[in-house]
Amino acid sequence: MDDGLLTAAAVLHANGNETEDSITAVKRAGAALGHPLTPEFTWDTAALRPVESIKATPLSINMARVEATTQAIDDLENQRVTPEGFADRVRQARDLPAAGTLLFTLAAVVGAGGLAVIFGIRHWPALLAVCAAAGLGALLRRGLGRYGAGAVAQAFAAALLAGVIGAIAVRLNLSSDLRLVVVCPCMVLVPGPHLLNGALDLAAMRLRLGTTRLIYAGLILLGISAGLLIGLALGGESLPATAPGREISWWLDALAAGVVAPCYLIFYSARLRIAAWSAAVGALVHAVRWYALTVWHVNLAIGAGIACLLAGVLLIPVARRYRVPFAAVGFAAVVCLIPGVYVFRAASALAQLAFAKGDAAALLVTGAQDAATAVVILLAMVIGLLLPITAWRLINNRKGAS
């Protein structure tokens, strides 16, 4: 069997592509090569049943590799490339680099600043502190990565730095009880694609793969939470378990979301030719979510679900039209809705509970509420994305059968 096919399966699986899309793409390539097969993906392998498998673990997110591999499969299917040329193209895709350090750092700065605006930051000094913490954290992550540190260690170190900077900001009266100076630089560390892909795998009954993806994402979240809380503690501060949110105008929410979405494309090492779509749809769904929360008075989970449903309806055709991974363009538009802040507050409540004096029932209830809120919002987001994805696949299957 052509080794380019196995390499293509490994590249798609290892770089954050949605599993069902990977299965479909590999089947198309196999049919074009005259190798009817059944692709199977586990946490650490990509297999072409019945005989071949290759080690591939979905630890990184590099959508440029996914897009290049998908394009090679399209060209093979349309006979624009030979099998030998296909294998060469796939190997080239496998070796594409991640986004450059300067661009990655700029995306972290702008992304964290945009999230701070969405969460209601009010003062320029605090916003500058957010941007500085995010930028330094991005540089630290890339530096640690060069020495072989994994995603959990990188996230812990960047969150620890953000916690220390946040504690200093609190001492200088630059941060409110929301602790946005700490929370926003840590929000850009949240492994949104791993969480969404894991949940989508569970919905498709790929239980082992989905569970393992979520465990891996959970370890990164644990590293972020630990770094954040330890950094604050080193400065004698903490993350309040409860803090009132702030409302902002709809246009500011939409504008900030439109700025944040392309930053996530850079985090995913995606090609920026689709940035305008992610930005426009990200702004639109945030405006719709704002309207649903403010006018219809729905809860946060329903608001996030509506936003994801709309993003899926609008961006799935775009992804198919321009032959780009929906996991790039779609996730970038909605991933800032991932409820990382509730995870951090739940972790803070549990940490405070361990050392609380007297009646700690309020802390326990607060931590449980925040954790439950995070789970329900993530579930609503997955349902919102899954409905248009499933509908699109059913329509395509009917077209293919007719």
Report domain extents, the chain: 3-97, 101-397
Does pLDDT of 242 surpass 80? no
Q: Measured between alpha carbons, how far is residue 69 from residues 6, 75, 193, 257 in Å?
A: 12, 10, 19, 29
pLDDT tens readout for residues 274-328: 899 999 999 999 999 999 999 999 999 999 999 999 999 999 999 988 888 998 9
- The stretch 108-115 carries a mean pLDDT of 97
Residues 283, 279: Cα–Cα separation, whole Å: 6
- The stretch 58-72 carries a mean pLDDT of 96
Residue 402: per-residue pLDDT: 52
Does pLDDT of 362 surpass 90? no
Share of the chain above pLDDT 90, in %: 80
Residue 244: per-residue pLDDT: 61
Q: For CA atoms 280, 252, 107, 188, give the dihedral sign.
A: negative
Residues 390, 384: Cα–Cα separation, whole Å: 11
Residue 273: per-residue pLDDT: 85
Residue 122: per-residue pLDDT: 86
Residue 43, helix vs strand vs coil: coil
* Residue appearing with tokens 């959990």: 152
278-281 long-range Cβ contacts below 8 angstroms, 24+ apart: 278/315, 278/329, 278/332, 278/333, 281/310, 281/311, 281/314, 281/315, 281/333
Across the chain, what does the average pLDDT equal?
92
pLDDT tens readout for residues 328-338: 999 999 999 99
Residues 42, 336: Cα–Cα separation, whole Å: 28
pLDDT tens readout for residues 132-167: 999 999 999 999 999 999 999 999 999 999 999 999
Residue 102: per-residue pLDDT: 97
Does pLDDT of 364 surpass 90? no
CB-based contact 328:66 (threshold 8 Å): yes
